[in-house]
Structure 1
Amino acid sequence: MSELPVLIYDGDCGFCTRSVRLAERLPVRMHIQAWQEADLAAMRTTADRARHEVLWVATSGRVFGGAAAVAELLKACRVPWPVLGWGMSAPVLRMLADRAYRWVAANRFRLPGATPACQLPPDERPGHSDRC
């Protein structure tokens, strides 16, 4: 597996791209890659899954999706972010985080910064330059 975890997102979604741009500012070492350019089979996941949710591929090879992926990303950060990640993983909050994530995912094309046809060129996608 990779030396660093990998955040996989929808590179054709403006809202997703803006969200990943925020994640780039977090104090964590990771690779960021649009699913359209990723070797998903090597990461033990599928295009169908990547189309529907953000993915976090841990260095162990375990794949987390949706709110769990966000929680794992936060857990991998420096303090104080892991506290929020662990909180999102607690049973009751995990259920709420999953619901909130599903709502955002279902409405992402209606949210600020998103357009139905926001095909970004690869060199404008987050993670294009290898920062780690």
Structure 2
Amino acid sequence: MRMRPVLIFDGDCGFCTTSVDVVQRLVRPRCEVVAWQHADLESLRVTEERARHEAPWVTPTGRAYGGARAVAKVLLSAGGVWSVLGAVLTLPPVRWAAHGVYRLVADNRGRLPGGTAACAVPGAQARRA
């Protein structure tokens, strides 16, 4: 059994990699951070489809949270003022707004600074059409 949570991100996406680097440096979450391309997704009980769609946070017991909920978990794990922000992200209506913002960013990460064509979320174009 793992002792620490795991944050899974898209290692092929420049925007995602830069975001994770900034979070690790400034927020300092108490977790392992691994690109889904190098993760044992089966043992983490996360599908590749989910890992491509959102950044899952997997607890040591195997429960997975994705998207804005994963961001809240990252912040909560860091403690201090970050955990206050993480707690706020779990409250409605902030939680609902955070989900919308997360999806907007995730679906358009290829257009954001550091993003490349490799960052495009499969199916995001179809959802926008």
Q: Shorter-normalised TM-score: what interval?
A: 0.7 to 0.9
| Cα contact 2:110–2:118 (8 A) shared by 1 | no
Query: Could you list the per-position Cα deviations for residues 38-97 of structure 1 after superposition, in whole angstroms to 9, with x for gaps in the alignment?
Result: 111111110000001011111222100000000011011120101111100002001000
SS in 1 for 2:42: coil
Query: Could you list the per-position Cα deviations for residues 15-52 of structure 1 after superposition, in whole angstroms to 9, with x for gaps in the alignment?
Result: 00010001112233211100011111111110000001
SS in 1 for 2:8: strand
Report the equivalent of 1:69: 70
Indicate yes or no: 2:51 matched with 1:30: no
Length-normalised TM-score, structure 2? 0.87
User: Could you list the runs of 5+ residues in structure 1 that have no partner in the other structure?
Assistant: 119-132
> Taking every aligned residue pair, what percent have the same amino acid on both sides?
52
Please give the alpha-carbon distance, in whole angstroms, between the structure 2 residues aligned to 1:11 and 1:117: 10
Report the equivalent of 2:18: 18
Would you say how many aligned residue pairs link Structure 1 and Structure 2?
A: 118
Please give the alpha-carbon distance, in whole angstroms, between the structure 2 residues aligned to 1:27 and 1:107: 26
Deviates more, 1:37-46 or 1:96-105: 37-46
Counterpart AA for 1:86: A
SS in 2 for 1:20: helix
Q: Report matched runs for 1:1-132 at 5 Å.
A: 1-25=1-25, 26-117=27-118
Please give the alpha-carbon distance, in whole angstroms, between the structure 2 residues aligned to 1:34 and 1:86: 25
| Cα contact 1:7–1:30 (8 A) shared by 2 | yes
User: Could you list the runs of 5+ residues in structure 2 that have no partner in the other structure?
Assistant: 120-129
| Cα contact 1:6–1:32 (8 A) shared by 2 | yes
Q: Relative to total residues, which structure has the larger helix share, 1 or 2?
A: 2
SS in 1 for 2:45: coil
List structure 1 runs of 4+ shifted beyond 2 angstroms.
none
